[in-house]
Amino acid sequence: MAERELCAEFPPLFLISNRISGVWELFDSPNWKSVDPTVSENVWVCQNDIDLAGYNQQDLTLFFRNSFEQIGGNYTGSWNIEAGGKALNEYSTMISEFTVVSSVPLSNDDLYGLPLGLPGFIQFQRLLLDFGVFDRSHIIHGRKITYGLSPNIGTAAFTDDGDGLFLVADDQYFSSLEPTAADRLYSYRVIGIGNPGVIGQSTGLVTASVPAKRILLSAASTKEEDLDYMMRLKRSYELANQE
C-alpha cells in the first residue's frame, strides 16, 4: 500500500451583524457564502474538495486510517446590551459548526439539514428537508461542535457590552473512515449562528470570528479485487449523480 495524507483547508470566517436588517454579513471572508440567502442569512458554508482523479484513473481504492482537525486560532465574539434590553445568556449566543468530508456531494437541503440530523444516520422527513440518500460509508469524516460564548472568559459579564471566547459545549464525531473509489471527496465546513436581531428589539452578538481550520486524513491506496472495486465504484457514481 502507498501511504498518503490528504488535506482540506478552510479560511477564517468573520461575521458582523447588520442591526438595521437583523441579519449577519460577511466581512473579509473569501470562499465563504450563505448556503441559500433566500432561506436564511444565518447558515454559512465553505467548500474545499479533494481531487482523487489520479487514484481513480489507476483503479485504486483509498483506505483511511484516521482523520483529525487542526484549528488556527480562537473563536471569539462581541456583544452589545441595548437600553432596556435583556442580558445575554449562553444559549442565545451558540454557534454550531459542522465539518464533513463525503464521497458524494451535499445539496443545500442536506447542508440545512445538518442541525436536525447528521448524515449517515437513519433519518425521517422533517420540515420538508431532503437529507440525501446517504449511509455511513459515504461520510469519511464528520464532526459537529457546538460553541457557547462564555461571560466568565471575557471583558465583561453579559449584563454589559463586551467580548469574549466561545467555548466548546458539545463535541460529536460521526466519521466512518470507509474506503472509497470516488474520484473526488466533497469537503464542507458549515457554520450556523442565531439571528442577531434589530436595534431596539433584541440583544445579541454583534460580531463573531471563526478561525481557519484544516482536516487531515491519513490514507493508503491499493488495488482491490475487481468485483469489490466495481461495486464500490458503481455505488459512488450513483450517489454522486442522484437528483
Reported as a single tens digit per residue, the pLDDT across 171-182 is 999 898 988 888
What residues have CB less than 8 Å from 77, skipping those under 6 apart? 93, 149, 163, 164, 166, 205, 207, 208, 209
Band the pLDDT of 20: cuts 50, 70, 90: confident
Rounded distance between C-alpha atoms, residue 153 and residue 167, angstroms: 9
In this prediction, residues 108-133 reach a mean pLDDT of 68
Look up residue 163 and give its amino acid: D
Position 153 scores a pLDDT of: 75
Beta strands at 95-102 and 2-10: parallel, antiparallel or unpaired: unpaired
Rounded distance between C-alpha atoms, residue 97 and residue 102, angstroms: 16
Look up residue 4 and give its amino acid: R
Model pLDDT for residues 55-98, shown as the tens digit of each residue: 767 778 888 999 999 999 999 998 887 765 566 766 667 899 99
Position 216 scores a pLDDT of: 97
pTM (2 decimals)?
A: 0.85
Domain that holds residue 221: 2-240
Mean pLDDT rounded to a whole number for the chain: 81
Tell me how many domains the chain contains.
1
